Structure 1
Amino acid sequence: MKKFIDPNHPFFASALVRWVTSLVPVIWALVEFVHGNTGWGMISAALGALAFWALIVRGPDEPTAPGKDTPQD
């Protein structure tokens, strides 16, 4: 199954892009809450939390050097 947000995609190579992608939905959730739209605020906050988890907390996989894709015993 494909991931909703793939941190290994080349678009997310820059840390700035990962941070902006995760913070914009959270900021938009605050706008929705201020205007009394709690439903849309919860949806935006959930999407921001998902993006933050996938892009910042978990982050992209570490690149492996050629020939080092299997651990040595």
Structure 2
Amino acid sequence: MFDLNHPFFRPLWRRVLVTGFCLGWAVFEAVMGNGFWAVLTAGIGIYCGYGFFVTFDPRDDP
């Protein structure tokens, strides 16, 4: 799927920003009444949260 251990995501603020954006967008879609898109973006946000904060292991690329 996506490489969540890419060095681009090493800074904490980027991981928080991406996860927060996805979850915030899910709330926006839910408020607007778009259930499908709310569930889809919430799933992406949960996946990012798990990948960024539970199993995150940054690697050093040369």
* Aligned residue runs from structure 1 range 22-41, under 5 A: 22-41=19-38
Unaligned segments of structure 2, at least 5 residues: none
Contact 2:22 2:44 in 1 (8 A): yes
Which of the two has higher C-alpha Rg? 1
Unaligned segments of structure 1, at least 5 residues: 64-73
SS in 2 for 1:60: coil
TM-score (norm 1): 0.72
Identity %: 28
* Number of residues of Structure 1 aligned to a counterpart in Structure 2: 60
TM-score (norm 2): 0.84
Q: Give the distance between the partners of 1:5 and 1:49, measured in 2 at CA.
A: 14
User: Alignment partner for residue 11 of structure 2, among 10, 14, 17?
Assistant: 14
Contact 1:5 1:51 in 2 (8 A): no
How far off is 1:52 after superposition?
0.4
Contact 1:7 1:55 in 2 (8 A): yes
